[in-house]
Structure 1
Amino acid sequence: MAPETTALEGLLRDESAHAGPARVEVLDRVDSTSRYLLEDVSADALPRAGRVCLAREQTAGRGRRGRDWVGHPEDGIALSVAWPLEPGERVPPAWPVGAGLVLSETLHELGYAAVGLKWPNDLVVGEAKLGGILVEQQAPRVANGVCGRLVAGVGLNRAGSQRLQLGRAVTDLAAQGVPPPGWLELAGRLAASLLRAHPWLMAHGLSQAGERLGAVDVLAGQRVERLETGERFLALGIDPQAGTLRVRDEQSRERGGEQALHSGEVSVRRWNHAE
């Protein structure tokens, strides 16, 4: 582990006092912080308060739909937070969107008011991607005595986004006119927000956060296209109960009315916007 582990522990110590201290690791280099947490099945791998893994360099980070998320050391945040799941414990369907909500709000608190959430898991400024969240679940292996786990992986561009060469619009915090916090401090703020939000999201989902969600939802009121089929809709907003995107079909009057798009099934973009 890198020497910054102790410093990050200090930043997070008070954030999870309700359930005991989170386990914290800062690594110099790893293929994927999320894979690292998913594959560690040691007996003490996951305290109830959660486990945080931050990497200075991530060589095979994973994004949604199999995309890579690889950045230069300290230009970006490569961070994952994991919690245990007991047999029968249910993760509310809106939990992944809730992670995007609390991370957006954390960046607002740091002075980046233009950051929004593009359903289901992108942090954006205007049309440019700032970061992304990938939430994964692993079922308990009861026969082996291994608990299940919920892992939220966060990739965020702190600086240097022009070097990523992703073939689509990207940005970083340094380009927003407000100097970004230091690498470790920023990671600590993001991890702390997830640690604080997890018990609340598990208990309530987003049922009590409709107005907050509407404040960061950048697709609401926009015309969007379903990439897989080319269907076009008017986005009505994110459903706080289900975490789905509410849309109305504008192409076929016969199929008209409200529909729900599920993040596992579709990816959407604004009309005429090439990603």
Structure 2
Amino acid sequence: MSERTYYAPTGGLPPQTQILTDRAMFTDAYAVIPKGCFSDIVTSLLPFWEGARFWVMARPLSGFAETFSQYIGELAPGGGSDRPETDPRAQAVLFVVAGQMTLTVAGEPHEMGPGGYAYIPAGTAWALRNSGDAPVRFHWVRKAYQSVEGIAPPEPFVTNEADIAPTAMPGTEGKWATTRFVDPTDLRYDMHVNVVTFEPGAVIPFAETHVMEHGLYVLEGKAVYRLNQDWVEVEAGDFMWLRAFCPQACYAGGPGRFRYLLYKDVNRHMPL
């Protein structure tokens, strides 16, 4: 596989001369937040973080995401937190897209760079610092863990996308593949955060309609994505949210690979 790239927002503001028409969409079935929306004026600050700001892409909200929140965090050199999470129910996945940072989980430090991936169980003590001389940008996916009697919760781990071989979808000759960071049959996990890769010309050849809620952040390339009844052009830096059962498909037209970070909720009964 050729070298991976990871798009990361840098903020700023568009000029006063820019027209206002854009690709942003918010519907009952899906939302598209284009990369141009990640400006300085839409960042948030969080308790107990220093030298940090966050773009909030998804949050539990009536008519929007129900199971997760997802941020892009930006840390200035030396920035970070010794108390990043204030909700003991929240598990986390961190995915680094730019810079170098030190993640300390249960007292053990881990150096993480682009492609770095960490799973942090609910109730686990952790801390994060920018250990370099340039800004760090990372995804932070949060979900309240759904415990099940008789199933032990998962352990924390840290890895990198480069260390995991993608799994090709059957019958695609490797043109559509998923990098899975946990075993999909491991019922300890109630969410998966994967990287999906399409080679130029590859497709999802049918309209997927299933129970998982999705968050998709485009890391690399561009494609035409089917969302409900609409075909939408997306590119690196765009975020998509899909309600459960929203039909989806895509066509990766090239010229390079199309890759995205994918969240979905899994392995649990439907709340009644």
| TM-score where L is the length of structure 1 | 0.28
TM-score (norm 2): 0.28
Higher strand share: 2
Higher percent of residues as helix: 1
